[in-house]
Amino acid sequence: MKARVPLYVQVYRKLRDMIREKGFEDGDLLPSEAQLAENFKVGRKTVRSALQRLQDAGLVNSKSKTGWEVRNGTLTTERLPAALIVKNAVEIDCIETVREGLRKKHYGMHSHIMSRGETCLAGNMYLDSLSMIMFVSGNPIEKSFIDEARDNHLPVLGIGIDKEVNYDTISVDNYQSTIFLLDKMLEDGHQHIYFISNKIKDLSFQIRQQAFHDWSQQHPEEANEIKIELNWVSPDEAAAIVAQLKNCTSPPALVCSTYIIAVALHAVCVAAGLSVPQDVSLSSCDEPRSVVNPLITHCALNWEAVGLCAAEIVENRSNGNCSPTHLIRIPPEFHQGSTTQSRH
C-alpha cells in the first residue's frame, strides 16, 4: 500500500476483499472487532472506522448484540455513494441540493471541501467504496486528480465546467445566459448597456466576454465595455465608472460578469447618489455566493436539476456505460427580485 493511504482505509479494503473471497452471504456475521484487530495487527478504533466505512457503503450493518452483519455478500448490487469535491468554499451552498438529487436515485454522497495545496484524493476519502468522483469547479480539473480517479476505476463528473473535456460535465450555458441578460436590457429600453468584466483568466469569465463581443457586433450603438483588473472595484475604477454613467443621456444598464462585481457596483452607485434600478439597472451573469441583493437580476445554475442529472450519470457509469463523455448544459434560472423564471 502507498504510505498516503490512511490505515483505516487499508483495513477497509482488506475487509471488503475478505467478504468477497470467503463468500459471505447476506446476514452472516463478521469476526468480532477484537478478532479483526488482532488479525490485522491494528487497534480496535481503526477496525471500527473501517467497519463504519463498510456500513456507509451499504455492505454491512451494525448489530448491537451480535456484532457486524454482512448485508450483501456478492458486493455487486449495492449502490456505492458518490463523492462531491468542492474546490472553492464559496460553492458549498450546492452540496445539499446535489445530495437530494442523488438520494432520489438511491445514491448516497460524501462531500469534501478541498483546501489549498491538496494534491491527492486518497488522503481524504476511501476511493474503493465510491461509485464516482464529482468536482464542483468553473475550470477544468487538474490532470493529477483525473488520473488518480481513473487509477481507481472511478468515473469523473465536472459540475460547472462549460467546456467539452475528456470526462462528463454539467454546466449552465454561460454564453446563452449572457446573451439573454444583454437582450433583456435592450428589451427594457436601455440605450447604454455596459458589460463589466475583469482580467482574471477563468473559463466562465472568458465565455461570457466572448458572448458580449459577439452581441456587440449586432448592437454597436448600445454596447459598451468596461474592464477592471480584479473581481472587485478599486476606488479609481469606481470613479471612472461613475463618470461614464453620469454622462449617459438615459438610464444605463450594467451587465456584470460576476455577482461580486455587481454587488460592488451597487455600493458604488449608492455612494454616488445613483438609485438602483431607477437610475442604473444592475444584472449579473452568475449567481450570488451568500446574501442575495433583490435589486440585482442574476442567472443561476439550477442545482436541483444538476443533482438529478448527476444521479443519472452516476447510475449509467456505475452500470458499465462506456459511451463517450459529454457536456450537458442545464437551462439557467433567472432571478429578478423575488421572481424566478427558467430560460429554455
Instruction: List the grid coordinates of 167.
Output: 470526462
pLDDT at 339 over 60: no
Q: What is the mean pLDDT of residues 227-244?
A: 94
Rounded to a whole number, what is the largest CA-CA distance in the chain?
83
The string of pLDDT tens digits covering residues 203-224 is 989 999 999 999 999 999 999 9
Report d(CA 12, CA 18) in Å as an integer: 10
Residue 89's pLDDT band (boundaries 50, 70, 90)?
low
pLDDT at 197 over 60: yes
Closest CA to 167 of 175, 152, 176, 157: 157
Name the 3-class secondary structure at 25: coil
The string of pLDDT tens digits covering residues 92-143 is 767 888 888 887 777 778 888 888 778 888 777 768 668 889 998 888 899 9
Instruction: List the grid coordinates of 278.
Output: 431607477
CA 168 to chain centre: 13
Instruction: List the grid coordinates of 133.
Output: 468522483
Return the pLDDT at 120: 85
Tell me the percentage of the chain whose pLDDT exceeds 90. Answer: 42
Domains of the chain: 7-70 (1.10.10.10), 82-173+302-331 (3.40.50.2300), 174-300 (3.40.50.2300)
Instruction: List the grid coordinates of 238.
Output: 469606481
Q: Strand ranges (DSSP E) for 114-178?
A: 132-136, 156-159, 168-172
The string of pLDDT tens digits covering residues 5-22 is 678 878 887 887 788 777
Question: Which of 53-67, 228-242, 322-336 is most confident?
Answer: 228-242
Question: How far are the Cα atoms of 34, 80, 114, 158, 307 from residue 85, in angstroms, in the given order?
Answer: 34, 16, 7, 10, 14
3-class SS string, 251-294: CCEEEECCHHHHHHHHHHHHHCCCCCCCCCEEEECCCCCCCCCC
Report d(CA 158, CA 161) in Å as an integer: 6
Q: Which amino acid is at 255?
A: V
Return the pLDDT at 303: 78
The string of pLDDT tens digits covering residues 40-76 is 999 999 999 888 877 766 678 888 777 898 875 444 4
The string of pLDDT tens digits covering residues 145-194 is 999 998 888 889 999 889 999 999 998 889 999 999 999 999 999 999 99
Q: Are 245 and 280 in contact (CB under 8 A)?
A: yes
